[in-house]
Amino acid sequence: MAEKQGKVKQQTKRILNRFGRKRGNLIPILQKVQGKLDYLPREAMLEIAQFLGMPGIDVYGVATFYNQFRLVPPGRHSIRVCLGTACHMKGGYITLDAWKRRLEIDRGQTTPDREFDLDTVACVGCCVMAPVTVVDDKPQGKVEPTKVDGILLSFKLGKEKR
Ligand code: FES
């Protein structure tokens, strides 16, 4: 654990060395750190706060304000439920609820085994297939609760074959 925290600090410091100590650099710094670590760990945010001479709570506030930032590590598989108008009309929220119940997490969270993370997206451009869920960057159409079970089963079977 301490070793991992040390590594996060080191990686963050390396990124910070490329920036000036201006508060205006906060967002680009958060983007670079997330680009490197896949999310914004607490230790990284504290390091950034110290570097910019601002309270940690302010860094946290910015990181939570913009939904481009993740505060938890991503899962191996990403599940993005489309809640654009067409998908919403065709039951996107029912699909989202099905994913939440099956994975036992809320949107913006990752399962404890880090297998899946769940979130929502706006229209992904394939409204004729509504309701759409984007699974690992591939849009899948007509994803209703029974199909959620099918997708999860295929992941489970795929894992057993490995
Ligand atoms: S609204 Fe979901 S794909 Fe367009």
CATH code linked to domain 77-161? 3.40.30.10
| Domain 2-65 = CATH 1.10.10 | yes
Which residues, listed in sequence order, are joined to residue 81 by a DSSP beta bridge? 120, 133
Q: Report the pLDDT value the prediction gives residue 67, as an integer from 0 to 100.
A: 79
The tokens describing 134, both together, are 């984007």
Tell me which DSSP letter residue 24 carries: G
Query: Residue 68: its pLDDT value, please?
Result: 86
Q: Residue 6 has what pLDDT?
A: 84
**Residue among 127, 135, 143 to mutate when testing ligand 1 (max atoms within 8 A of CB):** 127
The CA 104 to ligand 1 mean position distance, Å, reads 24
Residue 3's pLDDT is: 75
Nearest CA to ligand 1 atom 1: 84
- Tell me the CA–centroid distance for residue 79 and ligand 1, in Å: 15
Domain boundaries, the chain: 2-65, 77-161
- The per-residue pLDDT for 25 is 97
Q: How far is the CA of 160 from the centre of ligand 1 (A)?
A: 32
Q: Which amino acid is at 35?
A: G
- Compute the distance between CA of residue 148 and CA of residue 131 in angstroms, rounded to an integer: 11
pLDDT of residue 1: 64
> What is the reported pLDDT for 161?
65
112 preceded by a cis bond (ω within 30 of 0): no
Q: Which residues line ligand 1 (CB under 6 A)?
A: 82, 84-87, 123-127, 130, 132
What are the average pLDDT values for consecutive 10-residue runs of the chain, which has 162 residues?
82 96 96 95 96 96 90 93 97 97 94 94 96 96 95 86 62
Taking every pair of Cα atoms in the chain, the longest distance, rounded to a whole number of angstroms, is 52
Surface-to-core class of residue 110, CB atoms within 10 Å of its CB (0-12 exposed, 13-18 middle, 19+ buried): buried
Task: Give me the pLDDT at residue 146, please.
Answer: 92
CB burial of residue 25 (10 Å; 0-12, 13-18, 19+): middle
**Using CA atoms, how far apart are residues 98 and 19, in angstroms rounded to an integer?**
43
